[in-house]
Amino acid sequence: MNFKMVAKTLFGMEELLANELRQLGASSIEIGIRNVSFEGDTGFMYKANLCCRTAIKILKPITGFNIFTEDDLYKKIYDIPWENYMDVKGTLAVNATVFSDVFTHSQYIALKTKDAIVDRFRDRVGERPNVDLDHPTLRINIHIDRNICTVSLDSSGESLHKRGYKTESVLAPINEVLAAGIIMLSGWSGQCDLLDPMCGGGTIMTEAAMIACNIPPNLNREEFGFETWPDFDVDLYEKIEEAALKKVRDFPHKIYGYDTDSIAVKKSRENIKNANLQDFIEVKQQDFFKSEKEKDSPMFIIFNPPYDERISVNDVEVFYSSIGNTLKRSYPGTQAWMITSNMEALKYVGLRPSKKIKLFNGKLESKLVRYEMYEGSRKASKQ
């Protein structure tokens, strides 16, 4: 039986997510702001969690109603048959998002919801479930838009950007969902080599290798929210996982990563190993500004340089102009994509972007820009 679901995503990734869901077989797809709603069955819910690269969460709405006071909320939540969704011995966590003039404190809404649920259990069975914010058996999501309250179960559990391969964290890592989305926006899907010249912990390279090989991004994840639901069908999940693994393909090109920092190089290698992708990715300690393109074939560059926010650079103008000079001088026949929140610094790159896309890196409004370096200058100098 099909039911409605809502997949949450980052700003600017909505179309990509809708496409992913369409390709996986979702129906009734509707694009919202930072979310896409769709329909599918339980197996599809498992598949969407396993396979969507640009989803942060997949919510399963169970009911909706109008509320005018906090008491209304308490009563309506109390009336939901929570015993169908969890055992009293289980644990719960409530998350609330609120867009309303009447209800303004999301924390308070979450607390009120939790109270109504535990009171219902206590009144019925004399015991109450405990709260566990980190690893609950049931995550509940409350969404209030003016007077409309939607109650959903969070089928993902922890955010889907937590793929499970990153055990080594570097300073200012890019979110996995953002990295995957940037690669998909660039149009790179494995058709040629790819370089991340400032690779840090290796997120862009790891996401890229999974895209190139069509590996489900959440294959290495410890757990999804739905696995602790009473109706979890482990056989169905395994079938879905097996079917997705049959679609894994070979990738005949290579992904390269540079970083000046030896610790970043070590950490990225560790993360890549965790994802079992070492055959496709090569990382070395290398200053991008002293590098040049190693092969004549076409190549993509995708990177996330320091913005001079979380990672500072000595002279941001010199740094960004070195990016432009290196690309121009040493990387002919390359399509380069770079994300930064430093709009002032971007001017010093000195190349005209052929595309600009607004995105957010965490809270930082950023631009993803494309520079196209044509073959020619090096060819000319070789003759």
Q: Which of 173, 181, 190, 216 binds ligand SAM (CB under 6 A)?
A: 173
Q: Which is nearer to ligand SAM, 29 or 172 (CB)?
A: 172
Q: Does 337 bind ligand SAM (CB under 6 A)?
A: no
Q: Which of residues 244-303 bind ligand SAM (CB under 6 A)?
A: 258-261, 264, 287-289
Q: Which is nearer to ligand SAM, 52 or 264 (CB)?
A: 264
Q: Does 192 bind ligand SAM (CB under 6 A)?
A: no
Q: Does 107 bind ligand SAM (CB under 6 A)?
A: no
**What is the torsional sign of CA 84, 86, 89, 93?**
negative
Q: Does 203 bind ligand SAM (CB under 6 A)?
A: yes
DSSP code per residue over 13-27: -HHHHHHHHHHHT-E
Angle at which helices 106-125 and 70-78 cross, to 10°? 40
Tokens 């209030």, located at residue = 144
Q: Does 204 bind ligand SAM (CB under 6 A)?
A: yes
Q: Cβ 271 to ligand SAM, closest distance in Å?
A: 8
Burial of 291 (0-12, 13-18, 19+ CB in 10 A): middle
Q: Cβ 340 to ligand SAM, closest distance in Å?
A: 9
Q: Which is nearer to ligand SAM, 238 or 287 (CB)?
A: 287
CA dist 249 and 212 (Å) reads 8
CA dist 69 and 147 (Å) reads 9
With contact defined as beta carbons under 8 Å apart, do 69 and 146 qualify? no
Q: Does 200 bind ligand SAM (CB under 6 A)?
A: yes
Q: Does 217 bind ligand SAM (CB under 6 A)?
A: no
Q: Which is nearer to ligand SAM, 73 or 212 (CB)?
A: 212
Q: Which of 92, 183, 198, 369 binds ligand SAM (CB under 6 A)?
A: 198
HSE at residue 314, side-chain half, CA atoms within 13 A, is 4
Q: Does 170 bind ligand SAM (CB under 6 A)?
A: yes
240 alpha carbon, distance to own chain's centre? 21
CA dist 196 and 207 (Å) reads 12
Q: Does 94 bind ligand SAM (CB under 6 A)?
A: no
Per CB under 6 A, residues contacting ligand SAM are: 170, 172-174, 197-201, 203-204, 258-261, 264, 287-289, 304-306, 311
